Amino acid sequence: MINKISTNNYKPGLDIDFVKKKYNLKKVIKLASNENPLGPSKSALKILEKSKDNINRYPDGRCDDLKKEITRFISKSFIKPDNIVIGNGSSEILELVAKAFLSDKSEVVFSKHSFIVYKLVSNFMNAKIRESKLITNKSKNFMSSDLDDMKRKITQKTRVIFLANPANPTGALLSYEAIDKFISTLSKRIIIVIDEAYIEYACMLGHKSCIDLIQKYKNIIITRSFSKIYALAGVRIGYGLASKEIVSKLNNKRQPFNVNQIAQQMAIKSLDDKKFLINSLNDYVMCREYLTKELDKLDLQYIDSYANFITINFGRSTRTVFNQLLRSGIILRPLDNYNLSSYLRLTIGTLKECRAFITSLSEILGKTNV
């Protein structure tokens, strides 16, 4: 049986202006879409003014300057410009993978409660979806992919495996060693996509990226995004890393001029701004520590997250809490469309925003002295 899902089932975080009008609020804090609350690098923002004289020109369809900057930034001898594909957000890279490797005669495997775009792009190609379990026993790997069960879902028709690390919407993580061991047991005909949209946050907490596995295995694609730590969600840009052969196949499915010139130039400036990256990560760690400490005081269960969000388990339907938070001017992300109806996902905002959230939540839950 093929699992179907319409594009309407992707539910973005509510719009700030919509919530202001609906609840007659002057100020609204959005903690729903895993955006960097500090905004983009200042040097990246300067591109907006500088680019106005060239807006009538088509962008570089090959994104050569950005590929060179990514190569310099990653600084691995085995990563050359030919190992990079640029997309309109990393979601477009996922779509290119589906177009290049999936069909109505193939199967795709990913974990339950995975990023919903994996389903969307698989359904575009009418591929059969097989969902593996998550680890649900209380351990350090709680809610991460059960790789043993994932392996059991593989058949002769399996063509692609999507493996998010860290995962969205859970924030759970698999170790580099576990992923390496898993891939070593698989057929080379299977394409393994390792989605590292949130990798900068994970590395800040001591995790290792899987980039080195590209040198070891020729059937790996690593996807990354400029929407999260680099705060360029509004201009849509991301990239994929893989062998030259795989990148060539992805480029064959890519539209010409798929990434606008402003996005390309802002991405280049973002990668070059090390101070911006460090400041964003330091602020993230501070606010993450504050939130986990306060959630512990409220006796709330949450998934140990290696991304820029925390997924909180309220033990019951979250509709009431979510709506009450909206009325207080705070937007979180319900996870009903991920079949996680007892959870709300909380983006880690600024310290001021996090404090406002804790104050509102404690009042809603009838707690004091938080």
Exposed / middle / buried, residue 57 (Cβ in 10 Å: 0-12, 13-18, 19+): exposed
DSSP string, 110-151: EETT--THHHHHHHHTTPEEEEEPB--SSSTTTTSB-HHHHH
Residue 369 domain-assigned (yes or no) = no
Whether residue 111 sits in one domain with residue 33: no
Same domain, residue pair 221 and 321 = no
Q: Are 358 and 352 in contact (CB under 8 A)?
A: no
- Residue 356's domain comprises 7-40+275-364
The number of CA neighbours under 13 Å toward the Cβ of 247 is 20
For residue 335, the model assigns a pLDDT of 96
Digit-by-digit pLDDT tens for the chain (370 residues) are 344 444 446 667 788 999 999 999 999 999 999 999 999 999 999 999 999 889 999 999 999 999 999 999 999 999 999 999 999 999 999 999 999 999 999 999 999 999 999 999 999 999 999 999 999 998 888 999 999 999 999 999 999 999 999 999 999 999 999 999 999 999 999 999 999 999 999 999 999 999 999 999 999 999 999 999 999 999 999 999 999 999 999 999 999 999 999 999 999 999 999 999 999 999 999 999 999 999 999 999 999 999 999 999 999 999 999 999 999 999 999 999 999 999 999 999 999 999 999 999 999 999 544 3
Q: Are residues 51 and 188 in the same domain?
A: yes
Closest listed residue to residue 316, CA positions, set 343, 351, 278: 343
267 and 280 both lie in a single domain:
no
Residues with Cβ within 8 Å of 295's Cβ and at least 6 positions away in sequence, in order, are 302, 310, 312
**Residue 261: count of CB within 10 angstroms of its CB:** 17
331, 268: one domain = no
Interval 21-67: pLDDT, tens: 999 999 999 999 999 999 999 999 999 999 988 999 999 999 999 99
Q: Is residue 2 part of a domain?
A: no
Residues 341 and 259 in one domain: no
Instruction: Classify the phi-psi angles of 178: left when phi > 0, otherwise alpha if psi is within -120 to 50, otherwise beta.
Output: alpha
The amino acid present at 300, given as its one-letter code, is L
Examine the fold and report which residue of 219, 246, 273 is the final residue of a domain before the chain moves on. 273
Do 214 and 232 share a domain, yes or no? yes
Domain's final residue, options 257, 273, 289: 273
How confident is the model at residue 139, as a pLDDT?
Answer: 80
Determine the Cα–Cα distance for residues 259 and 228; give it in Å rounded to an integer.
17
